[in-house]
Structures are given as C-alpha cells and as structure tokens.
Structure 1
Amino acid sequence: MLHIVFLLSLILSTSHATVQDFCVADLKGAEGPSGFPCKTVAYVTSDDFVYPGLSEPGNTTNIISAAVSPAFVAQFPGVNGLGLSAARLDIAPGGVIPLHTHPGANELLLVSQGHITAGFISSANTVYQKTLKRGELMVFPQGLLHFQVAAGKSKAVAFAIFSSASPGLQILDFALFASNFSTPLITKTTFLDSTLVKKLKAVLGGSG
C-alpha cells in the first residue's frame, strides 16, 4: 500500500512539471552558443514552424551560375535549438558551388533534379567524390572542404540538411579573393603567382 501511495504522489508531483517543447528564436535578441533566446510562447503561431522559402528556385545569374537559399535559424526561427536546418541548391549548367566549409555542422545532400558531381577533402587530403542523380544522398562531415558541380547539360537542384540551426559557411575562394587579405600574404601562404591573385581579386572584388 505504501508503494502505491508513493507512486501516486510521484506521478502527481511530476505531472505539472514544465516541459519546454520548443524555443522559437526571438531574432531581436543576441545569438549565443546555445542559439537565440526563446520567443514568448503566447506569441508563437503555426507559421513559426513553417518556412516556404525553399519552394522557389534561387537566382543563378551570377559568377558561379548557382544559388544557395538557406533555411537557417536567421530565416527560419522555428529550428532554433533543434540542431538542424536546411538549404536549397540551384545549379545551372556549368555552375558550381565552390570549395567551402560549414564549421558548425555535418551536411546531408539530397539531389532532387539533374546530376551533381559532389565531393569533399578529408584531413588526410584524400578526395571522396561521386556524381549523384535524382534521389541519391551524400554526406559531408563537419568542417571539411567540399563542393558541388552541375554534371550534364541540364539544371540541377538539391536540398541540404544540416546538423545545426546555424551551420556557418566559408567559401574558400571568397575568403582569399573577396577579402582584404593582402596579395603578398596570399602569394606567400598559397604559392600562387601574384599576377593570378590580383586577377582573381579584381574578379571577386577583393582588396590588398
């Protein structure tokens, strides 16, 4: 009998415990290591858990003939604290998502249209690449340089899922040639010819 009373009292004492089901981002607050502060639950609506931004193709009229449309926490506050986010890749024929890295997340890529040659470089400098067709998946481990290139004569579309609401993004070419990283230092640290470095800076808008 005492055991039954104890169990009943335990159930009653825990039945009113507060469980935080979600933490829709309050984007007016500052982002910290754990994400954004939570939006007051009274102001949360169904729309906070829906993001239509990946339903339309991105504009591929640019230097890389490709577009990345993110659904990170900054665009989709509902993923705050959930450890996942997404993006849409539109790659025109001849287009490329240049070598880049996501410092804060692993990536799972699903091809939904066309063919994409994708790959990554391991820390042992081994290249793992594959030409993917519709319905095929590829994973890119966190922090490793990777790329996606349209394969074939038709447009390619893919969706990426990340293991963080804020995966981060750094594109190698832009870091080198669209920044104020000085030409002498780039030449010294990459062994590239200074004439080529200056040419690439002129194309991508870098200085120094």
Structure 2
Amino acid sequence: MMHKINDRFYIFGGVKGLVRDGDELRKELLEKRPDIVFITIAPEQVDGMKEFLEDPFEMNLSDYEILYGINLSRYGEVMTPSPVYIEATRYCKENDIEMIGLDMDEGDYQIIYSKYVKTTDLLRHSMRKKKVSKYKFDAETPEEFVESWNNVVDLKSFKKVNAERKKYIIERIDSLQKEYSDRNIFCIVDYDYYKDVLNHFENRY
C-alpha cells in the first residue's frame, strides 16, 4: 500500500515476506521513478541484500521466522528474504541510485536490546514457541495478521525494543527527508511500523 505525502515524498507499506507486496512495490517504483530510496532495514542489511542479489544464498531462519512464514502463507505466496527488500534492492541497482537503511545499526540495536531484554525474557520467549505454534490466527488480511502476530509473540520487553526502533526510524526519516528535500524520495516501511510512520507525516503535512 502506498501513500503520497507530497510530490517528492511517497511512503510504501509492505508485509515482510509476502510476494504480493514485492510485486506491488516493483510496480510503484517503476511508475514513480524515485531517485533515492529509504527502507526500514539496518545499514548492514542493505549491504546484505546487495550481496544476495549478486549471489543468492540460503538463509538460516529462526523457529519464530518459520512459524511466521507458515502462518503468513495463508494469505499468499511467501519467500525469504522479503520480496519487498529484494525488489527495492533490484530497482536501486538497475537505476544506480542509493538505498538508505533506516533502522538502527547492529551496535545501537544491541545497546537497546541489552537495556530491555533480560535472560528471563529470552527463556520465556523460547518457551512460548510451542504455544505460538498451536495458536489459531483468525485475521482476515495479511496486515491484520502482522498486528495479531506481534501482539501474540512479543513480550513486553520486546515491545519496548520495537518502540525504540520505531522512534529511531521516524526521527531518521525526518532528518533524511530534510537532507534530501530536492530529491524524489520513496520510503519503504515494514507494515509493523507503517501506520505510525504514516500518521507522523500526515500530521506534519
């Protein structure tokens, strides 16, 4: 799903892993023809996606990532890495434009993670896998599923980490949008953060 903020700034929200959203993103990128792309992954992941596009490799998935994919597949074809990430990287490579990661780098993330997530949280999170594997998600759309998944899976400590990430992402978009105000910006946001990012910029404009 895409939203026009102004003539030089578009925000696209995509469900992580869903092929449908990768196809939709590709279509929007080719139509809007941005000359810079922001995306809600870490800088290290931007480099990783470029490497994957050059030489695809098998990705190791956590148990939770596998469960997420199994449940998401009820709504359409699923693949990893996320098709949204693949199509964003492909467009930038084909058009020789910059793709900037909006999420925290590994160092900053570890600081926030250590601040909120304790050993007991990790144990509880690990023990919840069996419960989650049996949970019946009754969402009607993939977007509703993502919201339900986050509510079911994330402990309070993980929600605090994600709240910090969301705050960081919004502040970074604010800063970068000012820095590149003379460019046609296309901002790609995981659906997990899409509503909050969109609300922030709609309220500003």
Structure label with greater radius of gyration: 1
Identify the structure with the greater helix proportion: 2
Say whether the fold is shared (TM-score over 0.5).
Answer: no
Range class of TM-score, shorter chain:
under 0.3
**Higher RCO (CA 8 Å, separation ≥ 6 residues):** 2
Identify the structure with the greater strand proportion: 1
> Taking structure 1 as the reference length, what is the TM-score of the superposition?
0.22
> Taking structure 2 as the reference length, what is the TM-score of the superposition?
0.22
